[in-house]
Amino acid sequence: MHSDIAKVLVSKEEIDQICKTLGVQLTKDYEHKKPLLVGLLKGCIPFISDLARQIDLKFDIAYMSVSSYHGGIASSGDVKIKMDLDISIKDRDVLIVEDIVDTANTIVTIVELFKHRGAKSVKMVTLLDKPEGRLRPFQPEYVGKVIPKEFVVGYGLDYNEYYRNLPYVGVLKPEIYNNQ
Ligand code: IMP
């Protein structure tokens, strides 16, 4: 698996540090609130697990599964809810936890939906941000690291469902997806 990676973009050590820094900031910003963390499956799993343990507050946690890639390396722009939340977000301070923001099609759709459902506030924390990929204007409130417009895998991020278990974030060798 490691031999399919052209280069490591964010090491495990850097990810640990990012989670600590974001955890301290979120603990401070949500001090007198009881936020609802919403993880977007499946990519958020390693990040939400590490980040949650760095937030020194009581919070609720829920998951939602949305899809805009359908297996390839470019967003289809068509956001589908595959599994909805099992908890009401009305009057809640919602913090969406994502692995990466690229075109922002997914997050803009979800933020609009959550506001329509009556959330008190909707903010987002993302491990990675690819601002050059934007098709819609959107700035996440909390960003772990800004990266160039490259297709990355690992630490929850997949290519055709593989590589999510890599402990770091890396750039996949182009021949891996060109040969398909
Ligand atoms: P967006 O709607 O284009 O912002 O894309 C958001 C979703 O696309 C993320 O939650 C990922 O699942 C996926 N995605 C975006 N960029 C990458 C990437 O470089 N590697 C793997 N998945 C990605």
- CA geometry: angle at 26 spanning 23 and 27, to 5°? 80
Q: What is the pTM of this model?
A: 0.94
Q: Has 16 been annotated as catalytic? A: no
* CB distance 96 to ligand 1 below 6 Å: no
Rounded to the nearest whole angstrom, what is the distance from the C-alpha of residue 75 to the centroid of ligand 1? 7
* CB distance 98 to ligand 1 below 6 Å: yes
* CB distance 65 to ligand 1 below 6 Å: no
Q: pLDDT by residue for the chain (180 residues), tens digit each?
A: 899 999 999 999 999 999 999 999 999 999 999 999 999 999 999 999 999 999 999 999 999 999 875 555 566 567 789 999 999 999 999 999 999 999 999 999 999 999 999 999 999 999 999 999 999 999 999 999 999 999 999 999 999 999 999 999 999 998 887 766
Rounded to the nearest whole angstrom, what is the distance from the C-alpha of residue 102 to the centroid of ligand 1? 6
CA distance 36 to 122: 10
* Length of the chain in terms of residues written: 180
**Catalytic, out of 16, 60, 99, 102:** 102
